[in-house]
């Protein structure tokens, strides 16, 4: 069986679309369609069901993907390692949210980037959960950290850790609101406070309000910046209240740069997952990074 046909097939299976697969492979859509038809003729069975938006694998298509994908990934890994100047040093491609990856994952993994015979080179990229999982499925990453558990059997997810969210603001806002007033009035005491967030939809504040106050935030975003580290900096500067992961604002809380406005009995949590393509934990450098991050995460919580 032609390996090029299998590579195209696995890419279509992961992308869920001939169009997206063509873009990933650098081929035209007719070329991808032709290769899939050729493979279907060779097998005598349909591999995909064509739908209005993308394709869905048949049972034989799923079975073939689960058998072929890990081996194709291993061949790609062999080819890529053979191109390195130092063939003993593999490269781990990591993807995840910028703040968590920068503050948590990368400092832990740099300990493994030596030349001790088991070390690896490290390449990191940032993105949201959807972008990260799509890139992992397409073979652009080896290991992904994300806040969404993937569906299907091509990706395998392991719970990494839970992240506690804290409602914070500069001390002057805490004085203006009054922590006693907040305990009595709840979300009503916060209605007129400006909000610092990562997006106009206020994802962190909305999740906090829904979990703690069983409502939605009444205010709109005053400052919108697409990085939680920038959100913290703006909150310290007095721009407004913000909902932040505790690990990110712990030092600022300890210094008194910001104050926790609320201490709910059950704080909102967000779960992070370590995700790999199924079968790739057989590769030593991916398995070592996966295990190392799990060990590090046990000390983060």
Per-residue pLDDT of the chain (301 residues; tens, 9 = 90+): 678 889 899 889 888 889 888 887 778 889 999 999 999 999 999 999 988 778 999 999 999 988 888 888 777 666 655 554 444 568 899 999 999 999 999 999 998 887 555 678 999 999 999 999 988 888 889 999 999 998 877 789 999 999 999 999 999 988 887 655 566 556 676 877 899 999 999 999 999 999 998 888 887 788 999 999 999 999 999 999 999 999 999 999 999 999 999 888 899 999 999 999 887 888 888 999 999 999 999 988 6
Q: HEC states along 175-241?
A: HHHCHHHHHHHHHHHHCCCCEEECCCCCHHHHHHHHHHHCCCCCCCEEEECCCHHHHHHHHHCCCCE
Amino acid 126: pLDDT: 95
Do the beta carbons of residue 42 and residue 1 sit within 8 Å? yes
Amino acid 248: pLDDT: 96
Question: Could you tell me if residue 175 is left (phi over 0), alpha (psi between -120 and 50 degrees) or otherwise beta?
Answer: alpha
CATH 3.40.190.10 placement within the chain = 89-160+270-296, 161-267
**CATH architecture for residues 161-267:** 3-Layer(aba) Sandwich (3.40)
Amino acid 118: pLDDT: 64
Amino acid 87: pLDDT: 47
Amino acid 16: pLDDT: 87
Amino acid 115: pLDDT: 58
Positive/negative CA dihedral, 79, 124, 117, 276 = negative
- Cα–Cα dist 61/40, whole Å: 10
Do the beta carbons of residue 281 and residue 287 sit within 8 Å? yes
Amino acid 101: pLDDT: 96
Amino acid 15: pLDDT: 84
CATH 1.10.10.10 placement within the chain = 1-80
Does the domain formed by 89-160+270-296 have CATH 3.40.190.10? yes
Does the domain formed by 1-80 have CATH 3.40.50.920? no
* Beta strands at 90-96 and 143-146: parallel, antiparallel or unpaired: parallel
């Amino acid at each position: 069986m032609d390996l090029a046909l299998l590579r195209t097939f696995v890419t279509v299976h992961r992308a869920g679309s001939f169009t997206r697969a063509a873009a990933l492979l650098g081929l035209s859509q007719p070329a991808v369609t032709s290769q899939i038809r050729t493979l279907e003729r060779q097998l005598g069975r349909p591999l995909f069901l064509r739908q209005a938006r993308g394709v869905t694998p048949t049972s034989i298509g799923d079975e073939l993907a689960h058998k072929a994908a890990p081996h194709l990934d291993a061949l790609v890994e062999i080819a890529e390692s053979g191109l390195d100047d130092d063939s003993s040093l593999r490269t781990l491609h990591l993807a995840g949210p910028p703040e968590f990856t920068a503050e948590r994952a990368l400092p832990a993994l740099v300990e493994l980037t030596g030349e001790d015979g088991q070390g690896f080179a490290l390449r990191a990229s940032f993105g949201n959960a959807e972008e990260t999982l799509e890139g992992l499925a397409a073979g652009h990453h080896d290991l992904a950290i994300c806040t969404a558990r993937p569906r299907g059997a091509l990706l395998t997810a392991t719970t990494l850790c839970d992240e506690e969210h804290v409602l914070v603001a500069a001390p002057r806002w805490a004085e203006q609101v009054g922590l006693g007033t907040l305990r009595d009035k709840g979300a009503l005491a916060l209605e007129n406070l400006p909000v610092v967030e990562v997006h106009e939809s206020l994802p962190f504040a909305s999740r906090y309000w829904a979990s703690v106050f069983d409502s939605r935030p009444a205010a709109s975003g005053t400052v919108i910046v697409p990085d939680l580290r920038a959100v913290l900096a703006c909150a310290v500067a007095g721009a407004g209240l913000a909902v932040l992961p505790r690990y990110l604002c712990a030092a600022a809380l300890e210094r008194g740069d910001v104050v926790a406005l609320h201490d709910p009995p059950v704080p909102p949590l967000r779960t992070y997952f370590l995700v790999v393509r199924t079968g790739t934990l057989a590769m030593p450098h991916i398995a070592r990074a996966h295990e190392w991050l799990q060990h590090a995460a046990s000390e983060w919580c």
